[in-house]
């Protein structure tokens, strides 16, 4: 089930959230899509934050594409700002939350839609994600109404990937940049939190 958050004050934007039933991670809400350039632009305009690293490059410039080139710190600052704007507490999802949401109620499934190969799921697979991410929400959602999870861009999570050394933050999902564009729900990745890569974005979560 999806519903909108309160609109950003005077900015004509709202973040759609999907209700995730209690399970391995407990009940919570997660963004229906990855945070877009349009949403991140509102944050930049309101706070004076630095624009996303690749914002002016044509392959990443559409307002409906997911924002990329943001660090883990940038993503958490966006969540803090969104919390102030809406009166709700936004944050990055934890890894268990992300994985539970990605499966869309299909416990044990490899992908958000089941076990079918992405090559069979997307007949036009070879023509997708050629030079950058696709605009959000173009493909079918999973069982919880979530779009583009496991594909398009890697998504920052709240957790440390290496909690003992604390050098890399966890991320989930596939990326337009790799040979394998769609990841399984269980696949993990990580980079240092200050890095800003062209295939890294995020989606928000809330309690």
Strands (E), the chain: 2-4, 16-20, 28-31, 90-91, 154-160, 169-172, 188-191, 200-201, 205-206
Predicted local distance difference test score (pLDDT) of residue 1: 46
Band of residue 128 on the pLDDT scale cut at 50, 70, 90: confident
CATH of residue 113's domain is 3.90.1580.10
For residue 14, the enclosing domain spans: 2-206
Q: Residue 87 pLDDT > 60, yes or no?
A: yes
**Average pLDDT taken over every residue of the chain:** 92
State residue 95 phi and psi, 5-degree precision.
-60, -45
Show Cβ contacts of residue 71 under 8 Å, excluding neighbours closer than 6 positions: 193, 194, 195, 196
Q: How many domains does the chain have?
A: 1
Determine the 3-state secondary structure of 24 from DSSP: coil
CB 95 within 8 A of CB 188: yes
Band of residue 129 on the pLDDT scale cut at 50, 70, 90: confident
């Amino acid at each position: 089930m999806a519903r909108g958050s309160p609109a950003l004050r005077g900015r004509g934007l709202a973040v759609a959230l999907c209700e995730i039933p209690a399970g391995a991670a407990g009940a919570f809400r997660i963004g229906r899509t990855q945070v877009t350039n349009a949403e991140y632009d509102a944050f930049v305009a309101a706070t004076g934050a630095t624009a996303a690293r690749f914002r002016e490059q044509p392959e990443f410039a559409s307002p409906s594409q997911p924002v990329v080139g943001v660090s883990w710190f940038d993503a958490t600052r966006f969540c803090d700002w969104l919390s102030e704007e809406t009166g709700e507490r936004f944050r990055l999802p934890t890894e268990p939350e992300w994985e539970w949401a990605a499966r869309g109620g299909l416990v044990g499934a490899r992908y958000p839609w089941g076990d079918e190969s992405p090559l069979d799921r997307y007949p036009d697979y070879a023509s997708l994600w050629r030079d950058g991410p696709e605009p959000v929400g173009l493909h079918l959602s999973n069982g919880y109404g979530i779009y583009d999870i496991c594909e398009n861009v890697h998504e920052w999570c709240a957790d440390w990937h290496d909690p003992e050394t604390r050098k890399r933050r966890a991320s989930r999902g596939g990326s337009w940049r790799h040979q394998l564009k769609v990841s399984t729900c269980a696949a993990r990745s990580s980079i240092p939190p200050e890095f800003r890569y062209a295939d890294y974005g995020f989606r928000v979560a809330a309690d």
